[in-house]
Structure 1
């Protein structure tokens, strides 16, 4: 309302500035004029010697001063962001990012479990190579029974086979572990959680500074903001390694793991540096 009133006052004052201040009424021009009158035709009296005195600078200067006085207030008033300026919008960022941290932990656990599932095959194959020849038997227990039975038991072979029983037990344990991990669908679950993490994390890493700017009119560069920016970069790097990882590239897999582990460290640092900010937001904002 102040801005509207000031504009109207400015228009009125500016109009008054251009109004003639002479008290003499100007006579209307005759309908028919003689030749000498046509030659000096000047209905607006632009050629008058008193034109310089017809403009009063005082009303115009008053309107300009009024606009200048109101300009800082008009410029300072930003758009009304509604609920996004209040406590609800301000708490949306820490709540979502807190959930994203838990999602990141879950994705990390599933990623390492899937890695364990993939590498178990190599461990099992290496252990099986240390087992003695079973002589065509289906299992180590059957080979021992064959060595001890029959008309001429082979006690030496039976002893050798029995010495391999701890190795066979370890193989059986690893096979059972791999079967259990395979039943959990870790590969698809890890990929789905990683994709959701990249989306939510990036979206709300941008939402946080936007909310701060809407509420305070400026940003506050510091460890929390820098850690968030670095975290988004690491998420992007980890996601960029996925195509090469699917083709068995171990270098890409190592970069993927390193980026995510470093990201977890930055995420933890963000929580520590964001806690004082959260307390200040709660203190300075109101519901909704």
Structure 2
């Protein structure tokens, strides 16, 4: 059952999720960069290590990861909510299913943080694998999301 929200607001709600997700994609790429710098710091020696430590990449990566997790969860729920508000139903297709899968991946990746802090290399490699997969899926979601937005714009 569609919600009683003015049509002008419903129309603009369609664009909140995509804008948020594009910002999230950019932040994800920065998280990837900071994660690579953390890895470089771990294996560096001497002056190089001192310079990398000054960048505080470990703290930045952890904080960005927390923001990514929260934003991904709320963005996924928000996208589904707007679709339901505007259409009275969800469209179960690849974009929705991959988005839900990505939310699970990022939650699992974040849950590995305590194990990584305890020096578990398997957790670190799993974290990296999950996040590289996430970046790839995010790129695919950006393309399919734009296709959805173009369909919405064509109906305006």
Q: Structure 1, residues 82-114: CA drift from partner, whole Å, max 9, x if none?
A: 478523211000000000000000001101111
* Offset, 1:181: 1.0
Q: Which residue of structure 2 lines up, in the alignment, with residue 283 of structure 1?
A: 154
Provide the rounded CA distance (Å) in 2 between the counterparts of 1:200 and 1:233.
Answer: 13
Contact 1:227 1:269 (8 Å CA) reproduced: no
Asked if residue 104 in structure 1 is aligned to residue 9 in structure 2, the reply is no
Q: Relative to total residues, which structure has the larger helix share, 1 or 2?
A: 2
Asked if residue 203 in structure 1 is aligned to residue 74 in structure 2, the reply is yes
Counterpart of 1:245 (choices 109, 116, 132) is 116
Higher alpha-carbon Rg? 1
Asked if residue 80 in structure 1 is aligned to residue 4 in structure 2, the reply is yes
Tell me the C-alpha RMSD between the 2 structures: 1.6
Hey, which bits of structure 1, 4+ residues long, moved more than 6 A? none
Q: Compare relative contact order (CA 8 Å, sep 6+) and give the higher one, 1 or 2.
A: 2
Matches within 5 A, 1:140-159: none
Contact 2:3 2:86 (8 Å CA) reproduced: no
Provide the rounded CA distance (Å) in 2 between the counterparts of 1:179 and 1:84.
Answer: 54
Give TM-score, length-normalised by structure 1.
0.52
* Offset, 1:216: 1.1
Contact 1:224 1:274 (8 Å CA) reproduced: yes
Q: For structure 1, list consecutive stretches of 5 or more residues without a partner in the other structure.
A: 1-75, 122-174
Are residues 84 and 252 of structure 1, via their aligned partners in 2, closer, same or farther at CA, if it must alter by over 3 Å?
A: farther
Contact 1:84 1:90 (8 Å CA) reproduced: no
* Offset, 1:251: 0.7
Matched length? 156
Give TM-score, length-normalised by structure 2.
0.93
